[in-house]
Chain A
Amino acid sequence: MWGFAVTLIATDAKHYRLLPFRFMRMNTGHDRDILLTSDTGEYMHINDAQLRALSYFNVRASTPFYKDLLARHFIYEPGRHDPFPEMAAQYRSRKDFLFQGPALHLFVVTLRCNHTCQYCQVSRAPLGGSGHDLSEADAQAAVDRLFESNAPALTVEFQGGEPLLAFQRVRQIVEWIVERNVVEQRDIQFVITTTLHHLTEEILDFAEQNRIQFSTSLDGPAPLHNANRPTPSRDSYERTVKGIQWVRERLGHDAVSALTTLTSRSLEQPEAIIDEYVSQSFSTISLRPLSPYGFATKSAHRLDYPIERYLAFYKKALAYLLDINQQGVYLSESYASLLLKNILTPFSSGYVDLRSPAGAGTAALVYNYDGYVYPSDEARMLLEMGEDGLRLGTVQQPLSELLASPVMNALLASGVAEALPGCSDCALVPYCGADPIEHYARQADPIGHRVFSSFCKKNMGLLKHLFGLLCDGDDNVQRVLLSWLNRRSYNDVQFPGYGG
């Protein structure tokens, strides 16, 4: 049945055998306080007595609990149904992203920028210079690298500095890609990450022709946004909002999305930030904590905060979001949505920063203005901390060489969560990921110590909180969360249905 020889413990008095599973105490004070997860990512909430019975072969056959354990792949009956094929199918579905090359390609076209954001992770170069721009030769080579990935769907993201300051290069790259894609026939999405302060009609015309989308930073209402993101004219918020409106007028409402970056100051105003996103008619908000890179580290004492403060903020923000959704305003939180997808479905969310094996290099590549290739945006930000150790190579090297580089091997060696200390026993590992680069930045070690890891605390905190809501939240809370899962309206999700 299994196709290999396994030494099983020989007592045949057992009517079932165990399948690999993990457990975690949720410390909620409830009766069924232990989360059980199988390698497929299926889960159950059980109590101590049930865990003991399960582990020591004392669950009575044919009871509902027994059938649940069988169906969700915690146990199997030797000589009866072989669950291996469907377990493999679920596992494969969860790790589906391994079957294709990197799908996210970031082109850092310049470091020039007109902002001096407090938390900026890249050195800002003056507007007038060009020494920090991506050269034409390097841009062309990067396009070659892009198509060496076999991913059928590709996202091309322009970053900076401020990419619109090097718009001619952006235009060139898009045109080369579009031309080459006539033959390649991939599904390609273009995104420009920008402050929107340097928009022109020419840029919007070009964006319309090539269905380019925009991603911008909106940290909250004007005072907060401007405090976080100073410009010489002190009007970052106003110009960003104008930019959003202009893009929407020309390209449609959904052509622009926004992200927040949360500083210590931001953590004091969850409702205000959310209200700002509602008044700007966004349907998604992304409440991600500050990362430990670039200028953020230099100003850590002013900007940084313990991850516990972030989690407290997040729970308040989420409660507020759940409330307003129930009142008919659709605004989903993007990280919660992808965690829900990981928990509730057998599909991978596709998010490059929460995968195992880690997404750095395998999911995303960064073609930096300096002609070097990095495995993630964070890796090139470490450059600004004097750390060039995470280069994969130059953009002139073929992709196969870049992905076989010593840096890549080091990342993979510390990038499989199922094999990392702390993670390998963690019940949440099917829904989580590995981030060797963040651990390297914060702990100077790509493996890192899990107990002191901000990455771990963040993900564990958020996952536990969501499990709590899914288990104990009232029907309407569940309806909101389900409406985020499939991007349906709250009213369409009339009932939560079976909670699993």
Chain B
Amino acid sequence: MSGLRELRTSKWANPLLAGTVILAAALFPFFVGPLDSIMDDSILVLAYVVMALGLNLVVGFAGLLDLGFVAFYAFGLLVTGWWASDHFSDVNSKASSPGIHIGVGEFPQSLAGIHFNFLLLVIGAILICAIAGAIIGLPTLRLRGDYIAIVTLAFGEIIGRVAQNGDELTPFANNKLTNGRQSISPIDQIDLPFLEEFDQATNLRPYFWTVLALALVVLFVNFRLRDSRLGRAWIALREDEVAAASMGVPLVRTKLLAYATGGAFGGISGAFLGPYLQSVNANQFQFGFSIFILAMVILGGLGSIWGVVLGAVLVAAMNVFVIPDVLDGGAVRSVLDSLGLDFTFSQVSFGVFGFILVLMMVLRPQGLIPERRRKLEFAEVTGTDETLYEARA
């Protein structure tokens, strides 16, 4: 026992624990079948972890309530639809090998349209989402908290609408901007060196390792960002905008960087989900998706990185596993049937996420694993935060 205690207090405890968890996660695919449903579920969960970490930067660190995060999911997916499918099939169509191909395998080589390597897609998604984030952030600079929420919500809806009706828009010659309510499909499989061939119909392992690597990188960047000059500026901004500004924090740049970085993470996740889901379905680009991600951040604890990871795992697992497989299948189903209730939980999944939001805010607003700073705040007898009444004074 004493050995264990020594280990817990030693400076190697954290890296050791992290290393063990990462190793276990990396080896986990070998213990399950290549097409097991748990593989599919874990891949989606990890992709949502990346997204939630992105939203946490904006809402948790910088304190800017973003209700339009779906915009970055949309852009990330659309990047793959534009640059890794035959959507723009008449680009360079007169050449001997029609289309544009950069760093892709043999099969996509033979297809028309634009086909880029996955790494280029990720970079493209990061750039586009960062720019979009900054543009969305610009009009909110002068606004207060609740108005920021509505303006970001409005942008999310506008982008969703444009994607859903994009088949009516033809900005580049005869090419439709998106495929509208029909999905853009299929998207090229990921193609990376040193890994087995990617084909999500036969083997999910390479996809798992890719998304695990993405999640780890994003997690690492999150930790480094939080402790950096920029991260401390975000937290100062969240705590008191006026005080932060008078201490020399450049408000405009700090806020815009929060939107841009958060959006870029969302874009990374989208760029992965496009090839994995094999389609870009504009019908998903709805306000509900933003709330789905927000529920992860709120459940875990605003601003707490480990909390958000846990929240994302719980909420995403609920979406991909608990609701469809546990609540809608087997024992629970037969109980519901015997009671004469003919609804499925999948129908009301967003109601479940809404319920999580209400429950957490009323009962445990600091989240499951609160950030240290916030824990102290909530422990104080009277909050120093702006309250509804003080706000007006």
Say whether A and B bind each other: no
What is B's interface to A at a CB cutoff of 8 Å? none
What is A's interface to B at a CB cutoff of 8 Å? none
